[in-house]
């Protein structure tokens, strides 16, 4: 059974979330540059750096087309990623965490999270399963991806085999994004139709705007983007944990978080 990282906390505010994303120091770099990125845990596209600790990592890789290289670093390294490019083109950095657990002091705190993420009929499911109204846990795993352009930045995003994943259907560094950027959300072997995507838009001055979007029947959403801004797109799946995970963690719910970070250079979107 994979290593479990217990991160126990009491949720007392509706805004508290636990996004984890890959934040590159440069979204566009020269061919002789380095792929340097931080793992960041927080909310509203702002948070604290997470150092490199392999015991907390299930998967950490850089991909260029079909080529894959593991991200390796010394224990405690921050930034957690400092790798050589695999060539010119659109690179994908992929990170999968171990399982963590968050504790809810009462159902109201959980309900605020459920409402914000637009999960349906959760209260009914909670009651029908006979779950407690207070002091219950949620197990969660992060599936994060970042797009980094090297040199000409040519290429396409594609599925990286994550359980839940946001795939960019447009290359943010080479495509005409005047009509927005298309992303497709996948869950296991299918798409997430009519589901929420939360978009965090960071302006050059560091201010962040948050908007909510919905996928269509094919799991595709069109995200509004602006030149010179960086973005974090987020989608969450909520389900009952497997019997094994529930026994291991004590959690009564499980969430799986997909994150995609990218930027839009001014030359592309102008």
% of the chain at pLDDT higher than 70? 92
At 73-84, the pLDDT tens digits run 999 999 999 999
Please check whether residue 205 lies inside any domain of the structure: no
Give the domain extent around 153. 10-158+231-269
Please say if the pLDDT value at position 2 is more than 50: no
pLDDT, residue 7, reads 41
For residue 151, pLDDT beyond 80: yes
193 within a domain of the structure (yes/no): no
What pLDDT, on the 0 to 100 scale, is given for residue 11? 37
Q: What is the pLDDT of residues 112-129, one digit of tens each?
A: 999 999 999 999 999 999
Q: Is 236's pLDDT higher than 70?
A: yes
- Decide if 46 is inside a domain: yes
Instruction: Give 186-211 pLDDT, tens digit per residue.
Output: 999 999 999 999 999 999 999 999 99
The predicted-structure confidence for 161-178, as pLDDT tens digits, reads as follows 999 999 999 999 999 999
Note whether residue 212 is domain-resident: no
Q: What's the mean pLDDT in 28-53?
A: 97
* Structural domain count, the chain: 1
The pLDDT assigned to 14 comes to 34
pTM to 2 decimal places: 0.93
Q: Is residue 192 part of a domain?
A: no
Q: Is the C-alpha dihedral spanning 229, 182, 262, 44 positive or negative? A: positive
Q: What is the pLDDT of residue 266?
A: 84
Asked if residue 219 belongs to a domain, the reply is no
């Amino acid at each position: 059974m994979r290593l479990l990282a217990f991160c126990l906390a009491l949720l007392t505010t509706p805004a508290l979330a636990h996004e984890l994303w890959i934040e590159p120091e440069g979204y566009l770099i020269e061919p002789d540059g380095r792929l340097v990125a931080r793992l960041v845990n927080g909310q509203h596209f702002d948070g604290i750096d997470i150092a490199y600790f392999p015991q907390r990592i299930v998967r950490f890789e850089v991909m260029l087309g079909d080529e894959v290289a593991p991200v390796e670093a010394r224990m405690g390294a921050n930034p957690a990623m400092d790798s050589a490019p695999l060539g010119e083109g659109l690179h994908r950095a992929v990170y999968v965490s171990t399982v963590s657990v968050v504790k809810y002091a009462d159902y109201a705190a959980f309900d605020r999270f459920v409402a914000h993420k637009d999960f349906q009929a959760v209260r009914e499911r909670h009651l029908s399963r006979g779950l407690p109204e207070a002091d219950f846990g949620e197990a969660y795993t992060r599936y994060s991806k970042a797009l980094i352009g090297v040199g000409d930045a040519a290429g396409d995003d594609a599925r990286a085999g994550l359980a839940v994943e946001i795939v960019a259907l447009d290359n943010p560094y080479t495509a005409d994004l005047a009509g927005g950027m298309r992303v497709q959300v996948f869950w296991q072997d299918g798409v997430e139709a009519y589901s929420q995507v939360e978009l965090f838009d960071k302006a050059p001055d560091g201010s962040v705007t948050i908007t909510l979007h919905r996928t269509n029947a094919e799991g595709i959403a069109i995200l509004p983007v602006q030149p010179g801004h960086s973005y974090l797109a987020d989608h969450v799946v909520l389900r009952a944990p497997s019997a094994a995970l529930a026994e291991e963690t004590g959690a009564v719910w499980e969430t799986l978080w997909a994150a995609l970070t990218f930027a839009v250079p001014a030359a592309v979107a102008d």
